[in-house]
Amino acid sequence: MLKFNNVSVTFAKRDGQPFTALDDVSFEIPDGDFVALIGPSGCGKTTLLKIVAGLQKATTGSIEIDGKQVTSPGPDRALVFQNFVLLPWYDVVTNIAFGLEARGVGKAERLKRAGAELSKVGLAGFEHHLPHELSGGMQQRVGIARALVVEPQTILMDEPFGALDALTRRVMQRDLAAIWSEEGNDRTAVFVTHSMQEAVFLADRIVLMNTRPGRVEEVIEVPFARPRGDAITRSSEYRDFVDYLSSRLETMQRSDMQPTGASA
């Protein structure tokens, strides 16, 4: 169980005045769930992800994984970034195996495990290519494989498809959905996105956040069974669900744009 307990984050601005980025954020993610965080820009989605990763500390409140408070990075969590962050001098299989090497796994075993993950993400035959020889989508596949190969309890994804073109992004969404349907019950995912369609297609539940300051407005169950494919995206139920999220976000965006003290 991943628990967010009254998490607040306050920064000091250049003028010395405090700025509250997150305010009293509380919700729970059961083991094995795929949860998407969506909301207006500036609502603290990435900040929340960094706290789970142990890269940033909450000002007040805490995050717990199975009852243990998160205070630093750990081998039970892996992070996939929007930018691919591959080591340019390593080939594909060595990039995937990098986390295993850091954990002291022997060369033969880590290359075997890296090769298996490489096949899952559709890159068999590209083992010895360097990152600059790959497309953006292929580089992100390497990033996902690198996160999965260490078998984390929790995988954290910060807009992992945000830098891809529309067609490649759609393909990556479907590939990730297929991987998750096959093995997702073994781990928990927290996925930051600005795309409502992406959130509905991938997630088991969606955490809808608002801003000024960042807070949870609603936690919404996604009513579509796995496995998921193109048929779901063509259904009226899917379109209606995306429209509901769009209307909620538009309402929050309008409210956020109102001057302080103005009536809606």
> What is the three-state SS of 128-177?
CCCHHHCCHHHHHHHHHHHHHHCCCCEEEEECCCCCCCHHHHHHHHHHHH
Tell me, yes or no, whether 219 and 258 share the same domain: yes
Residue 197 near residue 242 (C-beta atoms within 8 A): yes
Query: Which of 135, 151, 167 corresponds to the end of one domain?
Result: 151
| 46 lies in the same domain as 164 | yes
209 vs 261, more confident: 209
**pLDDT averaged over every residue in the chain:** 90
> Domain boundary residue among 113, 130, 151?
151
**pTM for this one?**
0.90
- Residue ending a domain, among 131, 151, 171, is 151
Are residues 65 and 82 part of one domain? Answer: no
Q: Do 128 and 109 belong to one domain?
A: yes
261 shares a domain with 167: yes
Q: Write the pLDDT tens digit of every residue in 211-246.
A: 889 999 999 999 998 888 888 999 999 999 999 999
**Do 59 and 165 belong to one domain?**
yes
Query: What does the alpha-carbon distance between residue 160 and residue 156 come to, in Å, rounded to a whole number?
Result: 10
What pLDDT band is residue 179 in, cutting at 50, 70 and 90?
confident
Predicted local confidence at residue 191, as pLDDT: 97
* Domains contained in the chain, number: 2
Name the token pair of 57.
């500390």
**pLDDT, tens digit (0-9, with 9 covering 90-100), for 87-102:** 999 999 999 999 898 8
Task: Let me know whether 43 and 161 are in one domain.
Answer: yes
The pLDDT-based confidence of 76 (bands split at 50, 70, 90) is very high
| Tens-place pLDDT, residues 98-134 | 989 888 889 999 999 999 999 889 899 999 999 999 9
Burial label for 109, CB within 10 Å (0-12, 13-18, 19+), is exposed
Q: How confident is the model at residue 185, as a pLDDT?
A: 66
Same-domain pairing of 109 and 191: no
> Residue 2 sits in which domain range?
1-70+155-264
Q: Do 185 and 92 belong together in one domain?
A: no
pLDDT tens string 10-28: 988 767 788 899 999 999 9
pLDDT confidence bin for 187, thresholds 50/70/90: confident
